[in-house]
Chain A
Amino acid sequence: EIVLTQSPGTLSLSPGERATLSCRASQSVSNNYLAWYQQKPGQAPRLLIYDASSRATGIPDRFSGSGSGTDFTLTISRLEPEDFAVYYCQQYGRSLLTFGGGTKVEIK
């Protein structure tokens, strides 16, 4: 099983600031098969990024993904009020799928 570790656990930032979220895998993720999701309280998760760096349909270009192998990053270039939420990474390089523990982006 590939274990995904997200850091930091909580990120306190102000609107307009840049957010950088990390997802580290316990072993290399084949083909960089890594996705990112956003979840707001009481809602289902929403797909943001797949294949480590491809934006899903309808996702604003302030969201970007990067990385390869074991280290991946989600960057939100300028935080909008609606971006304050919890973000999860998920690997699909193995058929035993796993999620990271999440990073909460909160308003400072």
Chain B
Amino acid sequence: EVQMLESGGGLVQPGGSLRLSCAASGFTFNTYAMNWVRQAPGKGLEWVSAISASGGSTYYADSVKGRFTIYRDTSKNTLYLQMNNLRADDTAVYFCAKDVRGVIPYYFDSWGQGTLVTVSS
């Protein structure tokens, strides 16, 4: 069974940093691209970032480019999102999502349950 478990969310002050993790199991982790998708309270879904199966290619939404970094550790079957210079509008539940392909982001066939990030002073 495919499972993804996010962690690392919490309360952080504006301008601060946070690192999210997503521990994956039940599939061959180094075969699939992985994504982060977020959802602000009461709002819709927003794709944040993707990384190819090899880790050699990364993709970012304009809203986070230059502030967030996605990476993966195949030895630990874990996906990460390093978030720097956080702003109030980054407040959201962050979902880890498994892609159906390996190279460029497509669509997502499995999702974690999400971790809440709150940016507030």
Identify the A interface with B (CB < 8 A). Answer: 1, 33, 35, 37, 39, 43-47, 50, 56-57, 88, 90, 92, 95-102
Chain A facing B: main interface SS:
loop
**Smallest Cβ distance from B116 to chain A, in angstroms?**
12
Give the distance in Å from the alpha carbon of A99 to the alpha carbon of B113 in the complex. 19
**Smallest Cβ distance from A92 to chain B, in angstroms?**
5
A44 touches B111 (CB 8 A): yes
Number of residue pairs across A and B with beta carbons under 8 Å? Answer: 56
B59 touches A33 (CB 8 A): no
Q: Which residues of A contact B37 (CB under 8 A)?
A: 99
Number of interface residues of B (CB under 8 A): 22
Q: Which residues of B contact A50 (CB under 8 A)?
A: 100, 107
B104 touches A96 (CB 8 A): no
B61 touches A88 (CB 8 A): no
A45 touches B105 (CB 8 A): no
Supposing A50-B100, A88-B44, A102-B45 touch, asked if A95 and B105 sit within 8 A by C-beta, the answer is yes
Q: Is B112 an interface residue (CB 8 A)?
A: yes
